C-alpha cells in the first residue's frame, strides 16, 4: 500500500518564505518572537509606524483590544479592521510566529491568567464569583463511544484552561437512543444552561427541539455534524463534503491507476456529516476514478460487533473489496474483520476520527488513513460562538481544517484524562 504524508497544513505557511523575504528576513533567521502578551504589545506599539496601512490597522486593534484578540478568529479580526484575513496571518508571521494561532495564544494565556487571578482575589476576600461572568454550557452528544469520549475529554481540557466556563457533558450511544428521547433531552438541557453544543443526527423531532430552544433565546451550536434545517445558531466543524472528496481522491491514488475494483461503504444512522462525506467520496470516484465503484453500503450502527459481522458477511458473499471507506464510527470492527480475513495488507481502509482504536489500526498497517480534526479548537470556537450570541452578534459558521493521519504521524497523545481530574466541578460528564 502507498503511504500518504501528513496533510494537516496551514495554507498560509506556504507563503511564509516569500512574506519574510520581502521584509528582509530569511526563513533561517527569523526574529526572536515575543514570549508574553506584554512583550508582543510593546513590539506592535514600537513598530506600528513601520507597518503597511493594513498592518497599522491590525496593530491598533490588537493594542486596544487584547481580550477580544484572545477570542476572535483571524477572519473576525480582519472584518473588524477592514482588511483581508491573509493580512492578519502575514503580520503574525512577520513578528516571528508560525501563524495567527500561535500569535493569538499569548493573548489567550494572558486572559486566562487574569480571570484566574480575579477569581482567587474574590475568594480571598470572601466574595462570590460574579454570575454574569460565568458561562454555564451543556454539551449533548449522540454518537459512538470513542467519539463521545473524545468530545468529553476535549470539553474537560477546555474547562481546565478557562476558569469562567463550565461545561456539563451528556452523551448517548447512537444505536441505544431513540431520536424523540434525544429531542426531549435537548429541551431539558436547554432549561439548565446558557447555551448548548450539540452533536446529533438528522431527524424531524431533533430539528424541532433545536428550533424551539433557539426560539427561546438559547444559542445552539452544532459540532462536527450540522443540522441546517433546525435554525441552529451556527455550525463548527470540518467541511465534510471536502473530507469525502479527500478520501475518494486518496483512495484512488493509493490503488493502481485505472485499477478496477469494488469499494465497500460503511455508514450508520443518518448524520449529516456522513451523508456529506459519502456524496463527496462518490463525486470523486465518478469523475476521477470511474473504474472504482461503490458496490454496497453496510450499516455499522456505531457498534464494533455489528460492523465486524457485516464486513465479514460482505467479504464471504462478494469477495475482498479493493477498498473500504468508513464514514461512521466502529473502525475497530472493520479492522478486525480485515485482519481475520487476512486482508489487512491488501484492502485500502480509510476512516474518520483519530482515537486509540484508529491509532492502533494505523500503527498495525490495517488502516491506511484516518481523517481527523482539532476537537479542542472546535470546542473553543463553539464557546466563542455562544459568547457572540449573548452579546447580540450573529456568529458565522466556523469551518475548520481537516487533518490526515497515517501510521507515520498518528502518535499523538493529549493528556485529556489528567486534565479532566484537575477541572473539578466546572466539568461533568455522563454517558447513557
Provide the pairing of β-strand 427-431 with 165-173: parallel
199 within domain boundaries: yes
Residue 368 and residue 255 share a domain:
yes
Q: What is the CATH number of the domain that holds 82?
A: 1.10.10.10
| CB-based contact 274:330 (threshold 8 Å) | no
Angle at Cα 333 formed by Cα 327 and Cα 335, nearest 5°?
85
331 in the same domain as 256: yes
Note whether 226 and 334 are same-domain residues. Answer: no
- Cα dihedral 299, 302, 306, 308 sign: positive
- Do 57 and 80 belong together in one domain? yes
* Helix (H) and strand (E) counts in the chain: 17, 13
State which residues form the domain around 148. 131-238+375-400+412-431
Q: How many domains does the chain have?
A: 3
Confirm whether 302 is domain-assigned.
yes
- Provide the H-helix boundaries in 74-135: 74-81, 85-94, 100-124
Q: Tell whether 289 and 316 lie within a shared domain.
A: yes
CATH code for position 191: 3.40.50.2300
Q: Is there a single domain that holds both residue 204 and residue 290?
A: no
Question: For residue 339, is it within any domain?
Answer: yes
Asked if the structure places residue 176 within a domain, the reply is yes
In a domain, 119, yes or no: no
Domain membership flag for residue 3: no
Strand partners, 221: 197, 234
Kindly state whether residues 267 and 311 are assigned to the same domain: yes
Q: Would you state the cell numbers that stand for residue 253, as one nine-digit string?
A: 491514488
Residues 200 and 263 in one domain: no
- Note whether residue 159 is domain-resident: yes
- Would you say residue 118 lies in a domain? no
Render the burial of 365-399: b for 16+ CB within 10 Å, e for the rest.
Answer: ebbbbbbbbbbbbbbbbbbbbbbbbeeeeebebbe
Q: 230 is written with which cell numbers? A: 433546525
pLDDT at res. 259: 61
In this structure, the answer to whether residues 135 and 247 fall within a common structural domain is no
Q: Are 149 and 105 members of one domain? A: no
Q: Please indicate, yes or no, whether residues 294 and 361 belong to a single structural domain of this protein.
A: yes
Contact yes or no for 429/171 (Cβ under 8 A) = yes
Q: Do 368 and 263 fall within a single domain?
A: yes
* pLDDT values of the chain reduced to their tens digit, one per residue, 432 residues: 444 333 433 333 334 444 344 444 444 444 678 888 888 998 998 888 889 999 999 999 898 888 888 878 888 888 888 899 899 999 999 999 988 989 998 988 877 666 555 555 555 655 444 444 689 999 999 998 889 999 999 999 999 888 899 999 999 998 889 999 999 999 999 999 999 999 999 999 999 999 999 999 999 999 999 999 999 999 999 999 999 999 999 999 998 755 667 888 888 768 999 999 999 999 999 999 988 888 878 887 778 899 999 999 999 998 999 999 999 888 999 999 999 999 998 999 999 999 889 999 999 999 999 999 999 899 999 999 999 999 999 999 999 989 999 999 987 544 443 344 333 334 445 555
Amino acid at each position: 500500500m502507498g503511504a500518504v504524508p501528513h496533510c494537516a497544513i496551514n495554507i498560509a505557511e506556504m507563503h511564509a518564505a516569500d512574506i519574510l523575504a520581502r521584509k528582509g528576513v530569511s526563513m533561517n533567521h527569523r526574529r526572536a518572537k515575543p514570549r508574553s502578551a506584554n512583550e508582543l504589545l510593546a513590539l506592535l506599539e514600537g513598530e506600528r509606524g513601520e507597518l503597511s496601512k493594513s498592518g497599522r490597522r491590525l496593530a491598533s486593534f490588537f493594542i486596544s483590544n487584547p481580550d477580544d484578540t484572545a477570542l476572535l478568529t483571524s477572519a473576525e479580526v480582519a472584518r473588524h479592521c477592514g482588511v483581508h484575513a491573509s493580512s492578519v496571518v502575514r503580520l503574525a508571521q512577520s513578528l516571528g510566529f508560525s501563524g495567527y494561532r500561535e500569535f493569538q495564544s499569548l493573548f489567550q494565556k494572558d486572559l486566562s491568567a487574569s480571570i484566574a487571578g480575579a477569581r482567587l482575589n474574590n475568594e480571598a476576600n470572601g466574595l462570590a464569583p460574579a454570575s454574569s461572568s460565568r458561562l454555564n454550557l451543556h454539551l449533548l452528544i449522540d454518537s459512538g463511544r470513542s467519539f463521545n469520549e473524545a468530545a468529553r475529554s476535549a470539553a474537560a481540557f477546555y474547562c481546565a484552561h478557562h476558569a469562567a466556563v463550565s461545561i456539563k457533558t451528556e452523551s448517548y450511544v447512537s444505536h441505544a437512543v431513540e431520536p424523540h428521547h434525544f429531542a426531549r433531552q435537548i429541551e431539558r438541557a436547554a432549561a439548565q444552561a446558557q447555551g448548548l453544543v450539540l452533536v446529533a443526527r438528522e431527524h424531524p423531532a431533533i430539528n424541532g427541539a433545536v428550533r424551539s430552544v433557539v426560539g427561546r433565546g438559547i444559542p445552539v451550536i452544532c459540532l462536527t455534524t450540522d443540522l441546517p434545517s433546525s435554525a441552529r445558531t451556527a455550525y463548527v466543524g470540518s467541511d465534510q463534503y471536502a473530507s469525502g472528496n479527500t478520501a475518494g481522491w486518496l483512495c484512488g491514488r493509493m490503488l493502481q491507476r485505472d485499477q478496477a475494483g469494488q469499494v465497500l461503504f460503511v455508514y450508520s444512522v443518518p448524520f449529516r456529516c456522513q451523508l456529506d462525506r459519502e456524496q463527496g467520496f462518490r463525486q470523486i470516484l465518478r469523475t476521477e476514478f470511474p473504474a472504482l465503484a461503490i458496490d454496497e453500503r453496510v450499516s455499522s450502527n456505531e457498534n464494533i460487533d455489528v460492523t465486524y459481522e457485516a464486513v465479514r458477511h460482505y467479504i464471504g458473499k462478494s469477495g475482498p473489496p479493493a477498498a473500504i471507506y468508513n464514514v461512521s464510527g466502529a473502525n475497530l470492527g472493520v479492522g478486525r474483520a480485515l485482519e481475520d480475513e487476512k486482508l489487512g495488507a491488501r484492502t485500502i481502509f480509510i476512516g474518520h476520527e483519530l482515537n486509540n482504536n484508529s491509532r492502533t489500526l494505523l500503527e498495525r498497517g490495517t488502516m491506511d488513513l484516518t481523517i481527523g480534526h482539532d476537537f479542542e479548537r472546535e470546542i473553543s470556537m463553539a464557546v466563542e460562538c455562544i459568547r457572540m450570541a449573548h452579546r447580540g452578534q450573529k456568529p458565522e459558521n466556523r469551518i475548520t481544517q481537516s487533518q490526515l493521519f497515517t501510521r507515520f504521524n498518528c502518535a499523538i497523545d493529549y493528556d485529556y484524562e489528567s486534565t479532566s481530574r484537575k477541572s473539578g466541578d466546572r466539568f461533568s460528564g455522563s454517558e447513557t
